[in-house]
Structure 1
Amino acid sequence: MSQDNESRQPFLYFAYGSNLNPAQMRQRCPRHRVVGIARLPGYRLGFYGHSTKWDGGVETIIPQPQSEVWGVLYQLDAFEWRQLDSYQDAKDNGRGEYFHFPVEVMDEEQSVRTAITYKKDMLDKAERPSTEYLGIIVQGAQEHGLPANYVAELRHIPTRPALYAVPRKQGPDRMSDGGCSGCGD
């Protein structure tokens, strides 16, 4: 396959965190296309590490039988993936905050779809997300019409108010050192 054809090849991305938020996705990947809602069985949502951008823990998926994480399938091209990788601090050399993780999700028609999601490389310690960060996730879940019981579960995740205005912008100098501590989704 030529590089030109590869750059046009669409990819499915399963978003379960702040990238559920339509405004955030329009800013990060203006050409994305919403495919629909989906669920990832056998996982739960967890918040780990400390994000200076959000002043709290950032989300990842954790294997847990009998649990499920709901999210949205987006179609992205290769250019948009590279853009999103930059926002997520996902690096090909494995030194980023997140990495690409292949998943099989169930779409609204109960069909299995193969997609890629982001998963934290190092969990550090569990930490509450900031109230503001979780609010971005809940807003996206509501706007996409995720199941009401799942949205209610999200709302009941313990949070704490950020101690400063979030999201804190990450400057280019903070990204050039090979990582951005807690860039988050």
Structure 2
Amino acid sequence: MILYAAYGSNLDPARMRGTCPRSPLMGTGWLEGWRLTFAGGDLGWESAVTTVVESPVERVFTALYELDSFDQGVLDELEGYTAGLYRRLQTHATTTEGIQPVWVYVFDGFEGGLPSQWYLDELVRSAEAGGAPTEYIDSLRKRPTSDYGF
């Protein structure tokens, strides 16, 4: 079984059902020792995109999906793994059942850039739909954004 730890817009269960219908939501948890950040700001996109980086005292809320092999191929394409923009990394998530081995997509480049206001609003909406705690959602809302949002 492959457990995929979704952060960012894939926290939204409805979005994941549409993208990966064979991969059930198994619960939520935390990527302990990781920090949600943005990258790709130097690539000329409208917005930097989410990624995680190791950070000993921080944590990232995550939704855990049992990823079907077909759905993994779809997600690899959508998340930029196939294009070489992201890599898959194995780590652990802390859940109410204990520590679970998971893998995440991590941007394969340097951290940097700001999200557009539109993109940040999408992350907040996804976190709300995914059941993230209020404090986590509030911390997302306080993030700075770029000048060129949608």
Root-mean-square deviation (CA, aligned residues, Å) is: 1.8
Listed as ranges, the gaps of 5+ residues in structure 1 are: 1-9, 165-185
Residue equivalent to 1:72: 63
The TM-score normalised by the length of structure 1 is 0.74
CA contact (8 A) 1:132 1:161 kept: no
2:85 to 97, 104, 112: 97
In structure 2, C-alpha distance between the alignment counterparts of 1:163 and 1:44, rounded to whole Å: 23
CA contact (8 A) 1:132 1:162 kept: no
Deviations along 1:140-177, one digit per CA (max 9) or x if unpaired, are 1111211111111111111136555xxxxxxxxxxxxx
What is the one-letter code of the residue matched to 1:70?
F
Q: Larger Rg: 1 or 2?
A: 1
What is the one-letter code of the residue matched to 2:86?
Y
In structure 2, C-alpha distance between the alignment counterparts of 1:52 and 1:11, rounded to whole Å: 33
The correspondence of residues 23-62 of structure 1 with structure 2, limited to 5 A, is 23-50=14-41, 55-62=46-53
Residue equivalent to 1:116: 103
What is the one-letter code of the residue matched to 1:42?
G
What is the one-letter code of the residue matched to 1:97?
L
Residue equivalent to 2:129: 143
Q: Secondary structure at the match of 2:66?
A: strand
User: What number of residue pairs does the alignment pair up?
Assistant: 149
Listed as ranges, the gaps of 5+ residues in structure 2 are: none
The TM-score normalised by the length of structure 2 is 0.90
Q: Percent identity?
A: 34
Deviations along 1:36-91, one digit per CA (max 9) or x if unpaired, are 111011111111113666x1111111111111111100111110000000001213
- 1:28 positional shift: 1.5
In structure 1, C-alpha distance between the alignment counterparts of 2:54 and 2:148, rounded to whole Å: 28
In structure 2, C-alpha distance between the alignment counterparts of 1:37 and 1:161, rounded to whole Å: 33
